[in-house]
Amino acid sequence: MKRKVQVGIIGAGPAGLLLAHLLKRAGIEALVVDNRSRDEIESTIRAGVLEQWTVDLLISLGLGERLKREAYFHDGITLRFNRGSHHLDFPELTNGKRVTVYAQHEVLKDLIAALPEDMIQFGVKEVALTKLDTDRPAIRTAEDEIECDFIAGCDGFHGPSRRAIPKSAIRTYETVYPFGWLGILTEAPPSHHELVYARHERGFALLSTRSSTVQRLYLQCAPKDDLNQWSDDRIWSELRQRLETDEDWSLTEGTIFQKNIVSMRSFVCETMRWGRLFLAGDAAHIVPPTGAKGLNLAAADVVVLSRALIAWYRDHGTDLLDRYAPTCLARIWKGERFSWYMTTLLHRNDLEEEFVQRIHMADLEYLVGSHAAQQALAENYVGLPMAV
């Protein structure tokens, strides 16, 4: 069937759904298509930390009611190394900003529940982009051809949007890390009142939370590791060792009911626009998760994109559309830098010379002794100002 929509959005992740809400609020007609089922989207475990402005945006869109009730708001993070703990006081360092822990799939549930049903299609097969060299680009699916004024490619790293741009027009930058994260969910009460990021000679570990009864923990593993190599006993033993401290503290353990392994890369596609196709979020850039930036960068892209589309529908002005990629990239590269910094600072990388490993330890010592260095970390962690 042939259909028409003003803005066609591929991908019902944070980028696509948030864009749909921003456009809906401005009276612009948008349709989101995703190849996964609603159930799958709402149960995939990923991010946990939201920047302050992301939280403010969700609340301003009327999407923050459950978040306000159920999220955890922390006054900073703890860095742990050499068996010691160091609290970074974010409200003091950033003029009142805090860390919000609210799982990505909970954000997605809230975004999906608040969109009219006819604005989103799940389980759409054979999504392809066509007529990108015309003023009427289209999303072709197994059943429909959806003609659009604009297409937003919000379909993540593996989606079809970026690949629809001719190779000769694409400029990308990438680095792949020689480690991954094994993430678990466990039934246990919190072990600590805030997130703990630990550097240990056995590798990185991260203590996060989901609720008073469910905790989220991560540990550095090899990127090609198989989950079968990681028995529950081995996971707890590694976490205990990597989080060990001389203080009166112990890790609360429980039943592990979810495990997954993710590999880690940094990637930027500087070609974020091709004609009337605009890439946003993981479709255009990937960060390793250590800085907790991916979802937040995706949200920032679509704020910039929505402003540009709203301006175009107001008076057909193309200025903001033309500035979309450079405006986003200026902030994206800072997110890339911070994520790379946190990752190299906190992970054990045997490919690095011992000299460099000692430099990371010196960096950590410097950080916990310098207000200025803490401020630099904190202002990045809570989120740099949004592009104007």
Residues contributing to the site for ligand DHB (CB under 6 A): 47-49, 101, 195, 206, 208, 216, 289-290, 292
**Nearest residue to 35 via CA among 156, 164, 162, 166:** 156
- DSSP state for residue 284 in the 8-state scheme: T
From the list 16, 64, 137, 203, which residue makes contact with ligand FAD (rule: CB under 6 A)? 16
Residue 314: which of ligand FAD, ligand DHB, none does it interact with, CB under 5 to 8 A by kind? none
CA gap 95, 103 in Å, rounded: 25
- By rule CB under 6 A, what string of x and - marks binding of each residue 72-111 to ligand FAD? --------------------------------x-------
Respond yes or no: is residue 324 known to be catalytic: no
How big is the CA angle at 134 (ends 129 and 137), to the nearest 5 degrees? Answer: 35
Respond yes or no: is residue 289 known to be catalytic: yes
Q: CB of residue 113 vs ligand FAD: minimum separation in angstroms? A: 16
Residue 12: which of ligand DHB, ligand FAD, none does it interact with, CB under 5 to 8 A by kind? ligand FAD
CA gap 218, 185 in Å, rounded: 9
Respond yes or no: is residue 177 known to be catalytic: no
Place of tokens 């945006």: 57
Q: CB of residue 267 vs ligand FAD: minimum separation in angstroms? A: 11
Q: How many helices (H) and strands (E) does the chain have?
A: 13, 19
Token readout for 96 is: 């009142």
Regarding 64 and contact with ligand FAD (CB under 6 A), the answer is: no
Place of tokens 């009337």: 276
Respond yes or no: is residue 197 known to be catalytic: yes
How many CA atoms are closer than 13 Å to the CA of 7, on its beta-carbon side?
Answer: 30
String of DSSP letters for 217-254: EEEEE-TT--GGG--HHHHHHHHHHHT--SSS------
From the list 32, 77, 127, 165, which residue makes contact with ligand FAD (rule: CB under 6 A)? 127
Q: CB of residue 25 vs ligand DHB: minimum separation in angstroms? A: 28
Q: Which residue lies nearer to ligand FAD by CB, 105 or 245? A: 105
Are 154 and 55 spatial neighbours (Cβ–Cβ below 8 Å)? no
- By rule CB under 6 A, what string of x and - marks binding of each residue 148-187 to ligand FAD? ------xxx-xxx--------------------x-x----
Are 108 and 13 spatial neighbours (Cβ–Cβ below 8 Å)? yes
Could you give the dihedral angle defined by the CA atoms of residues 73, 74, 76 and 77, in that order, rounded to the nearest 10 degrees? -120
Which one of 9-17, 19-27, 142-150, 245-253 is the stretch in contact with ligand FAD (CB under 6 A)? Answer: 9-17
Q: Kindly give the pairing relationship between strand 255-269 and strand 76-81.
A: unpaired
Q: CB of residue 301 vs ligand FAD: minimum separation in angstroms? A: 8
User: Which helix or strand (DSSP H or E) is residue 342 part of?
Assistant: helix 324-346
Residue 254: which of ligand DHB, ligand FAD, none does it interact with, CB under 5 to 8 A by kind? none
String of DSSP letters for 273-322: EETTEEE-GGGTEE--GGG--HHHHHHHHHHHHHHHHHHHHHH---HHHH
CA gap 161, 186 in Å, rounded: 36
The catalytic residue among 14, 21, 72, 74 is 74
Return the residue nearest ligand DHB (CB atom). Answer: 48
Q: Which residue lies nearer to ligand DHB by CB, 47 or 221? A: 47
Residue 380: which of ligand FAD, ligand DHB, none does it interact with, CB under 5 to 8 A by kind? none
Binding residues for ligand FAD, rule: CB under 6 A, are 10-16, 33-36, 41, 46-49, 104, 127, 154-156, 158-160, 181, 183, 262, 281-282, 289, 292-296, 298
Active site residues: 74, 197, 289, 293, 381
